[in-house]
Copies of this chain bind each other. A is one copy, B any other.
Amino acid sequence: MSKQKRIVAAIGGNALYPPNNPSFEVQKDLITKTCRKLADIIEEGHRLIITHGNGPQVGNILEQNERARKVVPSMPLDVCVAETQAQIGYLMQQSLQNAFHKRGMKRRVTPVVTQVLVDSKDKAFKNPTKPIGPYYKKSRAEHLMKERGWKMKYDRRGGYRRLVPSPKPLKIVAMSSIKKLVSQRGSVVIVAGGGGIPVIEKRGKLVGVEAVIDKDLASGLVADELDAQMLLTITDVRRVSLNFGKKNQKGLPKMTVDEAREHMKGGHFPPGTMGPKVQAAVDFVKNEDRQAIITSLGHLKRALDGKDGTWIVFE
């Protein structure tokens, strides 16, 4: 068994939401399976703080808001993100608790609704690039652009789609409460779901903004503020690769922070997929006491033993 660590585990959307618009039961089954693997790590003695994505789930809630808009007042994006934190947080909480119970382990799981501060002057606000929510017909899209000032883009796959900014996370709001929970023996905390609810500061007041924060960058920030020993990013590939998808693709068992920066410059890690994962790892691994792993759920256990995945180390 590897040395017991304080680990922030960032769970990718694909470990929580199967493809092709699955029923609730199918979603729940996948969450149950994923949580069993997380319980494996906790059983080894590691302290886990869990973050997670919310891509398909927030898309679904936005679609629900749109379809019901004539009878139910629509919620802004920040509120929809909040809703996904509890939707996913609750289901993970229950699945984890049941996995612990089966193993005779005493643990309490607490999902915390989490705001994350972003800079109102972040350049992302001037150039929204992240497509989100339903596809709209032209007439409806034009109405929304005019009425609400949305930026939209035509996508051949289904029509017009809203683009929202993805600003950089600066600070986890109410972090000291999260720290208190994390420090409690037997406590597993779920925080900053979907990258957190984005808020800006306006004359000292917090105000929600219609944006989404990259889940991996937010997870790195959580790990940094908690001074975790490890940032564990769980995604759909076994390890990070150079020349991904090409003939000369090469998996990386290990890279130093400097090497990772080099590869990023070389354009090996595309934005929106592997890019932010490696970026988060590089930002987090500030010294020799910190490490990051990027791997898939299936290779998780071996990766933690140093036998799989990609390790990102200080030097």
Interchain nearest-CB distance for A106 vs B (Å):
10
B98–A87 contact, CB under 8 A?
A: no
Nearest-CB distance from A281 to chain B (Å)? Answer: 28
Tell me the bound Cα distance from A67 to B67 in angstroms.
Answer: 6
Q: Mark A86-97, 1 if CB is under 8 A from B, else 0.
A: 110111011001
Instruction: Spot the interface stretch: A57-65, A249-257, A282-290.
Output: A57-65
Q: A73-B23, A90-B82 are in contact. Are A108 and B174 (CB under 8 A)?
A: yes
Within the complex, the shortest CB–CB distance from A219 to chain B, in Å, comes to: 19
Which of A66, A108, A199, A208 has the largest number of chain B CB atoms within 10 A?
A108
B89/A82 in contact, CB under 8 A: yes
Closest to A22 in B: B73
Contact stretch, chosen from A163-171, A176-184, A272-280: A176-184
CA distance A85 to B90 in the complex (A): 10
Which residues, 185 to 235 on A, are CB-close (under 8 Å) to B? Answer: 187, 197, 199, 204-208
A79 touches which of B75, B90, B174 (Cβ 8 Å): B90
Q: Is the CB of B73 within 8 A of A63?
A: no
Q: Indicate if the CB atoms of A101 and B197 lie closer than 8 Å.
A: no
Instruction: Find A110's partner among B73, B112, B199, B205 (CB 8 Å cutoff).
Output: B112
CB neighbours of A1 from chain B (8 A)? none
Number of this chain's copies in the complex? 2
Q: Please measure, in the bound complex, the distance between the C-alpha atom of A57 and the C-alpha atom of B197, giving whole angstroms.
A: 19
Interface size on A, residues (CB 8 A): 59
Residues of B contacting A174 in the complex (Cβ-Cβ under 8 angstroms): 93, 97, 108-110
Q: Please judge, given known A-B contacts A64-B67, A113-B111, A181-B177, whether A87 and B79 are in contact too, CB under 8 Å.
A: yes
Q: Which of B22, B71, B76, B83 interacts with A83 by CB under 8 Å?
A: B83
Q: Decide: B94 and A199 in contact? CB cutoff 8 A.
A: yes
* Contact A115–B101 (Cβ < 8 Å): no
Nearest 7 CB-CB pairings of A with B: A86-B86, A82-B90, A64-B64, A67-B68, A111-B113, A64-B68, A108-B174
The reply to whether the CB of A2 lies closer than 8 angstroms to some CB of chain B is: no
Q: Does A21 contact B (CB under 8 A)?
A: yes
Q: Does A27 contact B (CB under 8 A)?
A: yes
CA distance A72 to B22 in the complex (A): 9
CB distance from A98 to the nearest CB of B (A): 4
Q: Which of A60, A64, A78 has the most CB of B within 10 A?
A: A64
Does residue A243 face the partner (Cβ distance < 8 Å to B)? no
Tell me, in angstroms, the Cα distance from A224 to B305 when the chains sit together. Answer: 45
Closest residue of chain B to A190 (Cβ to Cβ) is B113
